[in-house]
């Protein structure tokens, strides 16, 4: 017996109900009866064929990647490994345009609800006249559109491989990372090929690349051609780190940059916010009710310093920002999250540089790997640029 939604074949995870056998591995997503014949309904193909409209043009590196995606995605799965801020959304526009023109159904899967809403909004401006449908908590009544953007948790609605092309953003992050059931549910939406986007491919994908099961496309150059900011690492006793943090804030507050401080726990967030209240600060954690309001206040500079847990490591772009990670050696920060955090700095053409400081009270493999990886990407970028000049 096999669950056609999550591929579970473990007998102990099937149970009997009054209507028939169901799968317990994915029952959290609504119970389905396994023996029932599933009527495969293809997603209605797009009806609109608008060209994409951007106010700026892609770099030659981005154009090359876009072309490679369109040339190969109908023959193989692809992993697009782009450094933070390389403009991954821009590089999928040509593929979306092609799908719209050739009436190929396409689904975009994104981890966070807020980002689903933002990308949907953005795509509806880029593809004028097209219906872009976001599907996430609070937006589940309409499942039709030319372009569907959904959280991974909503993909259970689309079992039976109804989309020809599926784009999956941030495969290396929560909630997809390490969740086999959810990964299978996403893959089972797709009848042809998947395009995965990531800034930090994990073991699973590195193995797939090694075994030629997936095509790798890599971009190490941000659109503004500046290097990625390499974090400065300070290793000292914890009470000394408070002093370093104080100095960082005091020095950076003189510039027009925002100051974003990542901390490992909610408790520490509150503590630092209290300690440094003199600097006009606030904090943001998964428990914060008015997240949008606080982010807006920070962007508008009504707050100088924002303390945050890893909740802000991805998906949010601030124009001029310096970043510090307090206790970067804490176990909640792994290589991938530290790369994302450092990648918050210098994303915009208007502000391509900034400061990034990692404060540690112990040696951490993850911190070392992160720094090494960023330096490696910069080296790769330099050799590519010099080769092309």
- The SS3 of residue 90 is helix
Asked if 3 interacts with Zn ion (CB under 5 A), we say: yes
Residues in the chain: 389
By CB under 5 A, the count of residues binding Zn ion is 7
Residue of 2, 18, 22, 23 that binds Zn ion (CB under 5 A): 23
Asked if 91 interacts with Zn ion (CB under 5 A), we say: no
Asked if 371 interacts with Zn ion (CB under 5 A), we say: no
Only one residue has tokens 């404060």, namely 359
Whether the CB-CB separation of 126 and 54 falls below 8 Å is answered with yes
Cross-sheet strand order for the sheet of 356-360:
232-235, 356-360, 321-326, 258-262, 305-308, 281-284
Which of 7/68 has CB closer to Zn ion? 7
Asked if 183 interacts with Zn ion (CB under 5 A), we say: no
Between the CA atoms of 84, 86, 90 and 96, what dihedral angle is there, to the nearest 10 degrees?
Answer: -70
Whether the CB-CB separation of 249 and 241 falls below 8 Å is answered with no
Which of 157/299 has CB closer to Zn ion? 157
| Contact partners, residue 187, CB within 8 Å, separation at least 6 | 166, 194
Which of 6/258 has CB closer to Zn ion? 6
In whole angstroms, how close is the CB of 105 to Zn ion at the nearest point?
A: 23
In whole angstroms, how close is the CB of 294 to Zn ion at the nearest point?
A: 38
Which of 176/217 has CB closer to Zn ion? 176
Which of 25/83 has CB closer to Zn ion? 25
Element at 194 (helix H, strand E)? strand 190-198
Residue of 25, 135, 338, 339 that binds Zn ion (CB under 5 A): 25
In whole angstroms, how close is the CB of 24 to Zn ion at the nearest point?
A: 8
Within the chain, residue ranges assigned H as helices are 60-72, 88-91, 93-101, 113-126, 180-187, 203-210, 238-252, 266-275, 291-299, 335-342, 365-388
Which of 6/269 has CB closer to Zn ion? 6
Question: Which 260-279 residues touch Zn ion, going by CB under 5 A?
Answer: none
Asked if 135 interacts with Zn ion (CB under 5 A), we say: no
In whole angstroms, how close is the CB of 269 to Zn ion at the nearest point?
A: 37
Structure-token pair, residue 125:
């401006």
Asked if 6 interacts with Zn ion (CB under 5 A), we say: yes
Q: Which stretch binds Zn ion (CB under 5 A): 6-14, 58-66, 295-303, 373-381?
A: 6-14
Asked if 8 interacts with Zn ion (CB under 5 A), we say: yes
Sign (positive or negative) of CA dihedral 366, 372, 374, 380: negative
Only one residue has tokens 């589940």, namely 140
Hey, how many other C-beta atoms are within 10 angstroms of the C-beta on 203? Answer: 8
Which of 6/80 has CB closer to Zn ion? 6
Which of 81/153 has CB closer to Zn ion? 153
In whole angstroms, how close is the CB of 199 to Zn ion at the nearest point?
A: 30
Nearest to 148 by CA among 137, 163, 126: 163
Q: Which stretch binds Zn ion (CB under 5 A): 25-33, 60-68, 169-177, 288-296?
A: 25-33
Residue of 11, 12, 15, 26 that binds Zn ion (CB under 5 A): 26
Which of 5/347 has CB closer to Zn ion? 5
In the complex, the residues that contact Zn ion under the rule CB under 5 A are 3, 5-6, 8, 23, 25-26
């Amino acid at each position: 017996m096999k669950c056609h939604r999550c591929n579970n074949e473990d007998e102990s995870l099937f149970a009997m109900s009054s209507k028939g056998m169901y799968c317990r591995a994915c029952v959290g997503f609504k119970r389905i009866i396994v023996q029932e014949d599933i009527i495969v309904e293809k997603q209605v193909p797009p009806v609109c064929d608008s060209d994409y409209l951007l106010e700026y043009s892609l770099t030659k590196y981005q154009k090359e990647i876009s072309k490679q995606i369109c040339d190969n995605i109908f023959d193989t799965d692809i992993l697009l490994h782009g450094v933070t801020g390389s403009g991954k959304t821009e590089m999928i526009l040509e593929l979306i345009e092609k799908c719209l023109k050739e009436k190929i159904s396409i689904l975009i899967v994104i981890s966070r609800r807020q980002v689903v809403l933002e990308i949907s909004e953005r795509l509806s401006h880029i593809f004028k006249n097209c219906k872009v449908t976001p599907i996430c908590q609070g937006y589940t009544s309409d499942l039709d559109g030319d372009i569907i953007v959904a959280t991974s948790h909503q993909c259970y609605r689309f079992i039976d491989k109804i989309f020809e092309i599926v784009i999956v953003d941030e495969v290396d992050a929560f909630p997809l990372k390490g969740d086999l059931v959810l990964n299978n549910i996403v893959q089972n939406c797709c009848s042809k090929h998947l395009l995965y986007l990531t800034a930090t491919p994990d073991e699973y994908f590195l193995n797939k690349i090694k075994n030629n099961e997936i095509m790798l496309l890599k971009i190490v150059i941000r659109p503004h051609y500046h290097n990625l900011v390499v974090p400065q690492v300070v290793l000292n006793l914890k009470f000394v780190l408070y002093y370093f943090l104080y100095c960082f804030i005091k020095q950076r507050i003189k510039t027009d940059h925002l100051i974003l401080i990542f901390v490992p726990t909610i408790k520490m967030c509150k503590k630092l916010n209290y300690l440094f209240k003199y600097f006009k600060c606030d904090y943001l954690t998964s428990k914060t009710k008015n997240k949008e309001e606080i982010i807006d206040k920070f962007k508008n500079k009504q707050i100088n310093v924002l303390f945050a847990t890893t909740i802000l490591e991805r998906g949010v772009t601030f124009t001029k920002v310096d970043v510090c990670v307090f206790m970067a050696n804490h176990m909640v920060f792994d290589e991938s999250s530290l790369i994302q955090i450092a990648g918050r700095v210098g994303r915009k053409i208007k502000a391509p540089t900034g400061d990034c400081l990692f404060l540690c009270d112990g040696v951490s493999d993850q911190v070392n790997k992160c720094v090494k990886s960023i330096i490696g990407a910069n080296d790769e970028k330099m050799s590519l640029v010099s080769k092309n000049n």
